[in-house]
Structures are given as structure tokens and as C-alpha cells.
Homo-oligomer: A and B are copies of this chain.
Amino acid sequence: MEWSWKDRPRVVIVGAGFGGLSAAKTLIGAPVDVTVIDKRNYHLFQPLLYQVATADLSPADVAWPIRGIFSRHRNISVILGTVGGIDLKKREVVTDQVRVPYDFLIVANGSHHSYFGNEQWEPHAPGLKRIIDATELRKRVLYAFERAEITHDASEQRRLMNFVIVGGGPTGVEMAGAIAELSRWALAKDFRRINSKDARIILVEAGDRLLRAFPPHLSDYAKKALEKLGVEVMLNARVEDIDECGVRLSDQEIKAATVIWGAGVVVRDAARWLSVETDRSGRIAVNPDLSLPGHPEIFVVGDAAKVLWKDGMDVPGIAPAAKQGGKYVAKLIARLAQGKERGAPFRYRHYGNLATIGRHSAVVDFGRIKLTGWLAWWLWGVAHIYFLIGVRQPLIVATQWFWSYLTFSKGARLITGLAPLFEHQSKKAADTKPDLEKAGF
């Protein structure tokens, strides 16, 4: 195929997550004009988002203004806008604000959490993908304790202090561990009528073990470590329904005011924009060089791409894979812009898996090296500080962590915005205003 463009080729990158950002950074100074489009003005370091939900960190600690990253690199422009579609014939990305023409297009818009067809569960069991998810979850968790402190209805108090986390992947394990620590340590002396340590934290997993990406003995370790923190781990437990009262499993009902969804992700929009078929998770099958079949000028990287890795497995939907894909595609485009060949196909290199469970406890799987316990925990911390791409945040995050580590306190436990709606409670309590004196305050 012949490539043609006036002057310099225009590269448009949709999404400034790990994939898109890594592509844009690789194209700094290349003979191309890059436009990054994202509906948010920041790149989010998702692996630490759960710490915003559990009041360890502030949103600004895990997010960087995209413009700030590229401010000194004049061949990179940024547009804050929502993509509505892609005009494949005219080669234009259509946003709510403008149409952006491209010679090369990188689709890197990531994934959303999926309720597997039960979208009606979403208001009762929010997931954790965006900053507003994290601040919403923080609000729900803290507010549940506040309501438990003043209610005089024992069963309602019980329900307010039950926390159910659905899904035993890294997000679920990390959230369960962090909420357990919040109730056991940070909030331990804050209340007068309830004991925050009485909170039940229940982790529900449909499969027969936690952390399926890890080898079985690390899954066992994670389960034991969570149980030591006071988390109840339920395996082989399938969720049948979630509503304002709590969660129904096949064999029991758990009344809970706070339910957190960490069970799965789905790719939205990308396939619709490109008018192609997808697999069940919405991913798009791409060529070995991550280009879209029939469109050598379009590439899909990160969670949205379905591409073979080895032994019949696909490249996993994790941050390092997105980063590697973005870098690979950027280099390929830079070569084409210089009139060179496309080069070798994409080869994913797997470095390993990490998941933290709580204070002094994590699991690390680097292939030959497998670690648990405090050494794994320190390694997890060092790795995350290292991968924070900015310069300012690592300093602040390290200071915050060090302080929390020494004091067991969580400084960011603010409830901002409006009070969450506890539908179940508000229905019940509307006619029976609790009386503080009666309640023995």
C-alpha cells in the first residue's frame, strides 16, 4: 500500500490511558503531528485508584493533567472531548466538539466494568474505573459507618456495617484488604456507639480460588492473608441478584448497605466506531502488528485489542501490555513516516503479576521468582512508586504512604459531594425517626 500525506502525517490517538499515553510519549519528536483525544483532562494511574476509594490517597495523587505531560513537546496536541464516531472514509475522528482528520489512528480507549447483562445492579454495586467511582465508593463506605453510629435499629446497623466485594481478582482483593484495614485501624477510635472493628467484609468469588492469574499456592496465600485481616472469603459463590438491601447468592442472602463490583470488564464503543465484529468482551481481533484487518492505517492497543500471545492465550488486559502495545505501534508509525517498512509483529513480554493484600502482605509472581509476605509488599510499593510516571506525585504518594504506615491513619477520609442515597434505609426509617436519647447516646 502507498502512503500519502501533505507535509507530515497526522496521528490521532483516542484515549490517554496506559496505551495511548505510551504511544504519544514514544512519538515525541518524531516527524509526525500527534493529537491525543480524551474525555478527561488527566491520565489516571488505575492500579492505585482503589487507594482513593479507601481514603489513603487523593485524586490528584493518582492522576496527571495530560497537557502537563506534553506541554514542552510541540508536536503533541491535546483535545478534551468525547468521541462519537470515526469516519473511516474521510479518515476523521468525530468528537462532540470537532472533527479531527488523521493519516494514522490509534484506538486506545480501554474498558469499562461489566455487569454481564445485569446493568440494573450498577446503582447498588458501583465498580472502580474512574475517579468519580473512587470518590463515590469512599463516600458510601464512610457514610455507612456514620449512619450505623446513629441508628437505633439493630438490624439496620448490622446491614450498614456489612461490606460485600464481588470478584476475587486483584481489584477485589485489594479493596477487601483496604476496607478491612480501614475498619480495623484507621476508624478504630472514631466512633462512640459502634465498634468499627465489628464490620463484616465479605469477598465473593464465583470461581474456586482468588487471583486466577497467579499460581494456586499464591491464591491460597492471598486467601489466608485476607482472613487474617478479618475478611470472609466466599469461593464458588455465584451472585444471583443485587438490590438496595444487599446481595443474593445461590444459597444465602447477605444484607449489606455497601456492595462493590470488581467482577469484570467490557470494551465499549471501539467496535461500533470501527464497524467491526468483536468477541464477547467487546474486544476487536487485530493483525499481529495490532492493525485493524483491511485498515493498515488504524491500530488498536490495550484492553480493546484481541491478539494472540502464546499457548493459545491472548495478551492480557493489563497496564504493561497496553504500554508495550502503544510503544510498538508508535515506533511502527514513526518508521512508516520515514518511508521505512512496517517491521516485525508485536511481541508481548510478560514481566509478572503483583497484588497487594494489606499492611506487610502481597503476592508477586515473576515467573521463576514467586514471593509472598512483607518482602513482596515492599516490592509492590517500590514498583508502584517507580511506575508513577510524573515527578511530583511519587514524592507526595511516598510521603502519604510513609505517614499512614507510621500512624495507621488515613488522612483523606473526606465525604465530599452530596450524601449517598441509602434507599433501603430511607424507606424504612422515614416514619421512625431515631431518637438519640432513646438510642442511649
Contacts and interface: CB of A to CB of B under 8 A. Distances in A.
Contact of A411 (B71, B132, B147, B393): B393
Interface stretch (A94-102, A164-172, A370-378): A94-102
A310 interface: no
B60 A412 contact: yes
A108 to B, nearest CB: 20
Nearest first, the 6 A-B pairs at minimum CB distance are: A67-B190, A71-B189, A98-B436, A58-B58, A60-B412, A80-B146
Contacts of A100: 436, 441
Interface string A398-441: 01100100010101111111000000000000000111110101
B412 A99 contact: no
Contacts of A403: 392, 395
A46 interface: no
A394 to B, nearest CB: 11
A61 to B, nearest CB: 7
A35 interface: yes
A323 to B, nearest CB: 22
A81 interface: yes
Contacts of A63: 414
21 contacts: A40-B415, A42-B414, A42-B415, A58-B60, A59-B414, A65-B190, A67-B190, A67-B191, A77-B192, A77-B441, A78-B190, A79-B150, A79-B436, A81-B150, A97-B150, A98-B150, A98-B439, A100-B441, A101-B437, A392-B407, A396-B399
A415 B66 CA distance: 11
A107 interface: no
A81 B399 CA distance: 33
Contacts of A41: 142, 146, 413-415
A390 B142 CA distance: 20
A367 interface: no
Size class of the A contact interface (CB-based, 8 Å): 35 or more
Interface in A81-128: 81, 97-101
A189 B72 contact: yes
Contact of A416 (B132, B399, B436): B132
A222 to B, nearest CB: 29
Given A135-B416, A396-B399, 20 more contacts: A35-B441, A41-B142, A41-B414, A58-B58, A58-B61, A59-B416, A60-B414, A63-B414, A65-B190, A67-B191, A68-B190, A71-B189, A77-B441, A79-B150, A79-B436, A80-B146, A80-B150, A97-B433, A98-B436, A101-B436
Interface string A50-80: 0000000011110111011001101001111
A436 B189 contact: no
A71 B413 CA distance: 14
A131 B72 CA distance: 32
Contacts of A414: 41-42, 59-60, 63, 65, 131
A147 B150 CA distance: 46
